[in-house]
Structure 1
Amino acid sequence: MRTPRIFVEMPLRVGDTVTLPAGATRHVTQVLRLTTDAPVLLFNGDGCDYSARLLTASRGMTQAVLDAVTTLEPLVPLEIQLALGVSKGERMDYALQKAVELGVTRLIPLFTARSQVRLDGERLARRWEHWRGVVIGACEQSGRRRLPQLDPAVPLAQWLEQWTDGGYLLDPLAAQALTAIPAPAASVTLLIGPEGGLSAPEREQVFARGFQGVRLGPRILRTETAPLAALAVLQALWGDFI
């Protein structure tokens, strides 16, 4: 049986006894139903896994002693920033989850003209926390020891005002294929719209900021499918699929 991996936001050091936060305690005791002496792997995003053993396992308090640490996770050969138009419910969750599994290093949720989700204030804060939970869960499952950066969700125009590095817009009408772009030196930014893609004015704004259009074959992919296909291509050509 695979040892459960659990993310905790706290310092970790071999030999220490730690008290798991409330969320991790609920996961350990109510979802995984682990008991005293069960082995777990803890990580906090510093690039290492810490093997641990549960000293107590109850809904009131769960403690673990850290007994070993893994080697540091290697840095990725290609940093991939994914700017993604916010889509509805499970589509957005699916895209974020699979993007993390495929090794994306930064996630940038964007509200666009055709985004069918409109959030602000407290509702937006709750949704961002939900997305962060999706990202953490994907790291726990996939074995990633460093968490991708999850930016606050902002309107596309606001993001473009401060984004100076350009990138590639996934566009089924583009003349250039994604496989034909020059090999990125160290990082690449991929922009993908929501259901229905970007509007004509948004496309103009994006191209004015130095983005280039690229396509993925002859078919139009769904908003939750397109980033996965594009990330797989980038990782196979220049990333850590090699």
Structure 2
Amino acid sequence: MQQFFAEPSQITENRIRLDGPDVNHMKNVLRMKPGEDVRVNDGCGHTYLCCIASYEGEGALLDVLKELDADTELPSGIWLFQGLPKGDKMDWIVQKAVELGAFCVVPFAAKRSVVKLDHKKAAKKQARWQAIAKGAAEQSGRGIIPEVKEPVTFAHALEAASDLDVVLIPYEMEEGMEATARIIEGIRPGQSVGIFIGPEGGFEEEEVALAEHSGAKPVTLGKRILRTETAGLAALSILMYHLESAQHSLIMRNE
């Protein structure tokens, strides 16, 4: 079922009004008609089953049928710190990261980053990535719209990660799957987690050393060298499975 996001101010006890591009998408792209059901999320964890009542100008009126028991968020906030890649790879990374449960995406410029964005271009890119995140959140039934930050320097990215409980930096020179497994298994639901992914060409050794000095833990994602657009998604997939399995085990033990 198609999902849309609405501001809490747009929601009353039994009616929701949607405005803007979502209405155009609903009416002219999806060709949804009055009487059809949709899901609406307020971005604060509340999801509603609604029925399209009518279209009025640029808006759509929805009747709230009931609140749904929707729990689609990971038990931990995962921050993906992504080294700026070339071309439009970042579009794809943002979309898939949101689908896999990322809480926030922070693009950063590493020493081997080919892409250099000035403030004006960075703001324009950030707006595009945020729109992609919103669409991915709607498609995947997320309870929130993850934030995509404006690109920052590597030093600022490390500073932003300093408040997180666990910070991982997959590195192709790192060996020892057993050590990586222990680190992953030690992460508990409720802890915040950061993942640092290098750009094409990876991290330079001094960047990894600086990350370690800041508290990041180098890990391996296996024997193969992954592309920048693959590595973050592989790490997110591993964490998604681990955290949801750990949460399920906790629930089962407490029942």
TM-score bracket, shorter-length normalisation: 0.7 to 0.9
Aligned partners of 2:3, 2:72: CA distance in 1, in Å? 18
CA contact (8 A) 1:183 1:238 kept: no
Superposed counterparts of 1:72-221, under 5 Å: 73=71, 76-164=74-162, 165=164, 167-177=167-177, 178-181=180-183, 182-185=185-188, 186-221=191-226
CA contact (8 A) 2:112 2:203 kept: yes
Tell me which residue corresponds to 1:60: 58
CA contact (8 A) 2:15 2:64 kept: yes
Aligned partners of 2:229, 2:16: CA distance in 1, in Å? 41
Question: What letter corresponds to residue 187 of structure 2 in structure 1?
Answer: P
The alignment covers a number of residue pairs equal to 239
Normalising by structure 2, we get a TM-score of: 0.83
Q: Relative to 1, partners in 2 of residues 1:154 and 1:103: Cα closer, same or farther, differing over 3 Å?
A: same
CA contact (8 A) 2:161 2:194 kept: no
Instruction: Give 1:96 shift.
Output: 1.6
Question: What letter corresponds to residue 13 of structure 2 in structure 1?
Answer: V
Structure 1 SS opposite 2:229: coil
Structure 2 SS opposite 1:110: strand
Aligned partners of 1:198, 1:215: CA distance in 2, in Å? 14
Percent identity for Structure 1 against Structure 2: 31
1:30 aligns with 2:28: yes
Aligned partners of 1:160, 1:237: CA distance in 2, in Å? 24
Structure 2 SS opposite 1:225: helix
Normalising by structure 1, we get a TM-score of: 0.87
Aligned partners of 2:51, 2:113: CA distance in 1, in Å? 45
Q: Relative to 1, partners in 2 of residues 1:120 and 1:187: Cα closer, same or farther, differing over 3 Å?
A: same
Instruction: Give 1:52 shift.
Output: 1.8
Structure 2 SS opposite 1:66: strand
Question: What letter corresponds to residue 220 of structure 2 in structure 1?
Answer: R
Q: Relative to 1, partners in 2 of residues 1:89 and 1:64: Cα closer, same or farther, differing over 3 Å?
A: farther
CA contact (8 A) 1:25 1:59 kept: no
Q: Relative to 1, partners in 2 of residues 1:174 and 1:187: Cα closer, same or farther, differing over 3 Å?
A: same
Aligned partners of 1:232, 1:60: CA distance in 2, in Å? 39
1:232 aligns with 2:230: no
Answer with 151-160 or 128-137: which moved more: 151-160
Bigger helix fraction: 2
Residue ranges of structure 2 left out of the alignment (5+ in a row):
249-255
Tell me which residue corresponds to 2:4: 6
CA contact (8 A) 1:107 1:151 kept: yes
Structure 1 SS opposite 2:133: helix
Instruction: Give 1:228 shift.
Output: 1.4
Aligned partners of 2:44, 2:86: CA distance in 1, in Å? 32
